[in-house]
Amino acid sequence: MLKRFRWVGAALIISSVLSSCGSEPSSAASEPMSYKDMKSMVIDILKTEDAQKALQESAISSTGNNGATSKLLSVQDQEQVRLAVKETLVSPEYNKVIEKLMTDPRFAGEFSQAVNKQNKQIHKDLLKDPTYQQDMIKAMKSPEMDKMILDVLQSTQYRKQVMTIMQESMQSPLFRLEILDLMKKAVQEELKPKPDEKVTKSKEGEQGGGEGEGSGGDQNDSGMGEQGGG
């Protein structure tokens, strides 16, 4: 970009010099200037102090405002910059640089803080996406995920962590009260008669009453028979 502005300034200087030279009367004005002569004249002009000063002023004024300079980028230049950045990002050498940077605690901490908010929003948006939800459900139901979860649950480290959490929770008075309330409710539920038990007891009572009536009738019949025999 800086070279471009230099060439623009040089072109302006050359055009002004050529115009001034062309205005002077000359016997050889009608003869065309050769490329070699033109090149030699341009080099001589660029070597002058005035040309160097003009180029420096042009470069300073063009680079003084970054916003204005970026606007001067053509579509082709923007595409070239984009491709250059893309090639740099996907190159193996750049991957090594990224790995080295991510292992730096300071850089990793600042990077995580910078992208934390964006990551949260991305996860929220993904959870609202039906396609993402279905993919998550499929992944959770996969045999590989089941095996991984079982391996974690059966690991000694996980069990120790669960025991530590339970012990810490039992030290809390509020947690103890909640446990006692749950135990009381469970005992009360067990002591309540269940509908199946009521039906069974009522049937047993009816059967017991019928047997009593049957045995009483047999005794009456046997007594009447003895009286008739006497």
Q: How far is CA 61 from CA 1, 11, 69, in A?
A: 13, 17, 10
CA-nearest of 9, 93, 112, 103 to 55 is 9
At position 142, the amino acid (one-letter code) is: S
| 147 Cβ contact partners less than 8 Å away, ≥ 6 residues apart | none
How does residue 194 score in pLDDT terms, banded at 50, 70 and 90? Answer: confident
How does residue 16 score in pLDDT terms, banded at 50, 70 and 90? Answer: low
pLDDT of residue 24: 47
Whether this prediction's pTM lies above 0.85 is answered by no
